[in-house]
Amino acid sequence: MKHALILTVAVVTATCSALAQEPNLKNIRQLTFGGDNAEAYFSPDGKKLAMQSNNKAWGLQCDQIFWVDIAKAAGDSSYRPPMVSNGEGRTTCSYYMPNNRHILYGSTFEGGKECPPPPPPRADRKYLWQVHPDYDVYVADEQGTMIAKLTNEPGYDAEATVSPKGDLIVYTSMRSGDLELWTMNIDGSNKRQVTSGLGYDGGAFFSPDGTKLVFRASRPTTDSAIAEYKELLSQGLVAPTNMEIYVCNVDGSDLRQITTLGKANWAPFFHPSGKKILFSSNHHSQRGYDFQIYSIDLDGTNLKRITSESIFNAFPMFSPDGKRLVWSSNRNTPEGSRDTNVFIADWED
């Protein structure tokens, strides 16, 4: 889920030395120009992206869903992608369906046409994410025609992604009373709970063979942390500053914690080999808001830093053929800007 993390990021000027520290990324191209653009994920044919943006130049007040023709975006900085969502409420977490024409996404529009207001300022200035109870999961075509509503339970339902096998959707839901992972068939039927540990489980993706899930999770253990988590959740809020990366089978078995880095480890995605994971982390940062992409093996070893240019890089996703990586970054932004844009690069192991 794209949250205000990307709005707090400072801007750093590109340097040759920084670029030399990104040997896995070749032929980097910028696909969006302005606003906050994130969670850009490939279509099954690898030619398009589904993403969310709040670009004010497009008349947006909060995140809406778009689909991007990669070839057009890479060759034209003025390219404006078509909008898929209806422009009402706030949206999040879009993903192409197996037919390459329909797009899955979360939206609050049935709870109100206006953008949901942010939470009031807190005296402790704690950084929080909103998990609006009006979110549900919908499917629309590329022209914006609503095809289906896949969830209809009270409380938050969002962060949905699709298995490479084309049979299942994983998403985060409050229907059990906590923020857990659930799966459903591609038509929304046969909903099954996957995780059950107290804490926020979200941002899940399938492994390349469709047998495993990788996700971010908070796991409060002390009495005070548990009480705080429950109190915030009752207000539709979570604190995302202490999350680690987990993996499990699609049915929830063989649950394993992959990272033990501390701070915020999130936005994970499987490497095409299925043997390691890319994710975003600020564990190295003294200030807390320097997010870089790392890779790590499934056994928790061989931690490797992938990005170094700018101080926000997140939402990595490999193309279906494993040859390209798309991600969001605030590199190349004008001085004083907080824009986050989508970039694509050829991947080299």
Q: What is the CATH number of the domain that holds 139?
A: 2.120.10.30
Count of domains for the chain: 1
C-alpha–C-alpha distance, residues 130 and 200, integer Å: 12
Task: Output the CA torsion 297→208→52→180 (10° steps).
Answer: -70
Over residues 125-130, the mean pLDDT reads 88
Q: Given a cut of 80, is residue 14 above it in pLDDT?
A: no
**CB contact at 8 A, 36 and 54:** yes
The residues facing 248 across adjacent strands are 213
Q: Given a cut of 60, is residue 197 above it in pLDDT?
A: yes
Q: Given a cut of 50, is residue 19 above it in pLDDT?
A: no
Residue 121 has a pLDDT of 82
Residue 189 has a pLDDT of 98
The residues facing 66 across adjacent strands are 51, 83
pLDDT digits (tens, 9 = 90+) for 44-72: 999 999 999 999 999 999 999 999 999 99
Q: Which of 12-21, 107-116, 221-230 has the lowest mean pLDDT?
A: 12-21
What is the amino acid identity at position 171?
Answer: Y
Burial call 154-193: b when 16+ CB within 10 Å, e when fewer: ebbbbbbbbbbeeebbbbbbbbeebbbbbbbebeeeebee
Per the structure, the complete domain to which residue 229 belongs is given by 4-347
**Residue 202 DSSP code:** E
**CB contact at 8 A, 281 and 260:** no
